[in-house]
Amino acid sequence: MSVDEHPRNGEGPLADAPAGGTAPPEVGKTPEQKAGADAATKRSPGSTAKPATKSAGKAAAKKPAAEPAPAEPGRRGQVARRKLVWFGVFGFIFACLAATVRFFFPRAIFEPKTRYRIGYPADYGFGVSTKWQAARRIWVVRDSGGLYVIFAKCTHLGCTPDWKETDNKFKCPCHGSGFDTEGVNFEGPAPRPLERLHVEIDALGQIVVDQSKTYGGPTLTAARQAWKKEGAFVQV
């Protein structure tokens, strides 16, 4: 080997090593100094690395908010009591409003009219007609004396008797009282004859019944007297 080929510091082939080979260890620097120098190199002016303090701030911002602390038992009880009070107040107001509305709709019983028409005299032949028994609780009777209307209410305890055509009588199903076609009681506990209702012929020629006026009496004699009165029957 010649003198020119011998490697020397900063000269010869060894001086070009950093370009492609491994950099030789720096002389006179401790490992700590080397680490500091490396860090400084990474934070060179052209570098985009952010300072460590900003990274820490971002991490803190991404951290989820702390969960709310659970309500204390005392506060929960206070809320429940408050709800109960409001419930009571609204319930009271609602009840007052309902009572006010109900006031305008009284429980009225709408009974049927006591005065009504039942048709023409020609609609009724001789005998007993039960045409209006269900609707008006009456029988229409026509005989040689005229036409009259009997109220179908037993004079014993108020049951509705049945018309027995084959027996030609009204028979009360409750205790067996019997009445003839005039309404005279002749069997059973009924104490007096059946009552008759007011009848008249109106301007149109129809029979008008007025259920508010009755004709009868405590005895058969008194009842017959009443049945002769005007309005107790109509001549047809």
Nearer to ligand FES, 129 or 177 (CB): 177
| Interface stretch with ligand FES, choices 3-11, 110-118, 156-164, 205-213 (CB under 6 A) | 156-164
By CB under 6 A, tell whether 174 contacts ligand FES: yes
| Interface stretch with ligand FES, choices 51-59, 103-111, 150-158, 199-207 (CB under 6 A) | 150-158
By CB under 6 A, tell whether 172 contacts ligand FES: yes
By CB under 6 A, tell whether 118 contacts ligand FES: no
Identify the residue among 119, 146, 189, 231 touching ligand FES (CB under 6 A). 189
Nearer to ligand FES, 121 or 193 (CB): 193
By CB under 6 A, tell whether 154 contacts ligand FES: yes
CB of 168 to ligand FES, least distance (A): 18
CB of 169 to ligand FES, least distance (A): 13
CB of 130 to ligand FES, least distance (A): 17
CB of 90 to ligand FES, least distance (A): 54
By CB under 6 A, tell whether 188 contacts ligand FES: yes
By CB under 6 A, tell whether 169 contacts ligand FES: no
Query: What 3-state DSSP class applies to 8?
Result: strand
By CB under 6 A, tell whether 194 contacts ligand FES: no
CB of 210 to ligand FES, least distance (A): 25
First-to-last C-alpha distance (Å) of the chain: 170
Strand partners of residue 151: 138
What is the full DSSP assignment across 88-131? HHHHHHHHHHHHHHHHTS-----PPPSEEE---GGG--SEEE-T
What gap in Å lies between CA 5 and CA 95, rounded to an integer?
A: 116
Pairing of strands 146-151, 196-201: antiparallel
Those residues whose C-beta lies under 8 Å from the C-beta of residue 147, and which sit 6 or more positions away, are 121, 124, 140, 141, 199, 207, 233, 234, 236
What gap in Å lies between CA 161 and CA 154, rounded to an integer?
A: 6
Those residues whose C-beta lies under 8 Å from the C-beta of residue 215, and which sit 6 or more positions away, are 195, 196, 197, 198, 223, 226, 227, 229, 231, 232
Nearer to ligand FES, 173 or 205 (CB): 173
By CB under 6 A, tell whether 185 contacts ligand FES: no
What number of chain residues touch ligand FES (CB under 6 A)? Answer: 12
Those residues whose C-beta lies under 8 Å from the C-beta of residue 151, and which sit 6 or more positions away, are 137, 138, 194, 195, 196, 197, 211, 214
Residues that bind ligand FES (CB under 6 A): 154, 156-157, 159, 172, 174-177, 188-190
